[in-house]
Amino acid sequence: MLDEKLQTYLDSLIPARTGLFAEMEAYAKEFHVPIMEPSGMEALLQILRIHNPKTILEIGTAIGYSALRMAEALPEAKIITIERDEERYREAEKNVEAAGASGRVELLLGDALEAAGEVGPFAPFDAIFIDAAKGQYQKFFSLYAPLLRAGGIMVTDNVLFKGLVYGREAESGRLVKLAEKIQGYNSWLTGLEDYATTIIPVGDGVAISYKKR
């Protein structure tokens, strides 16, 4: 999470989204659906372009915004994405169909903490993107890490949590507890011997974990 003026400047350099993506952003804003911040999204897409994964697992579809951005940036990639909220899942279905991406984006309805068996047949994955319930990040990582191939990357969004993990004062006790969980996850993640992890302070904080060969 960068200085506000610097973040505003960097965001101003990102080309405005048009068409379906602009519509999805407007929908997310109106209905308070969390989607990745612009600079974080661009960082994720650039990392994936460099890594060039052919198979991606996304934990937390929401309305399909990140999945479709990844599909556009990586035309040869197959994306499996899980969402537990049925209303958002149905909205994601409509968006994937509107984008003409039904053949490359596979939507699964269910709780990611219970869906490993359903996801297993699609493995191994070259990349896994975690952007779901923040208090469950460590469980998501541990559950799906075995499905990530050696040399693959695990990407986690929101690891700086609006600055609450490193000093900004929380407005409620619930946020304090959630920030503590994310801070615990960050410490655990960066200490894993089988992964090389760095946290990039863009958007709301993006952790990149490389699975050592």
**Which residues are documented as binding site for Mg(2+)?**
131, 157-158
Residue carrying the six token digits 């695990």: 154
**Which residues are documented as binding site?**
36, 66, 83, 111-112, 131, 157-158
Sheet order of strands, 78-83 included: 105-109, 78-83, 55-59, 125-130, 148-157, 206-211, 195-200
Token pair in block for residue 42 = 């661009």
**Which residues are documented as binding site for S-adenosyl-L-methionine?**
36, 66, 83, 111-112, 131
Long-range contacts of 160-169 (CB under 8 A, 24+ apart): 160/1, 160/199, 160/201, 160/204, 160/205, 161/134, 161/204, 161/205, 162/1, 162/204, 163/1, 165/205
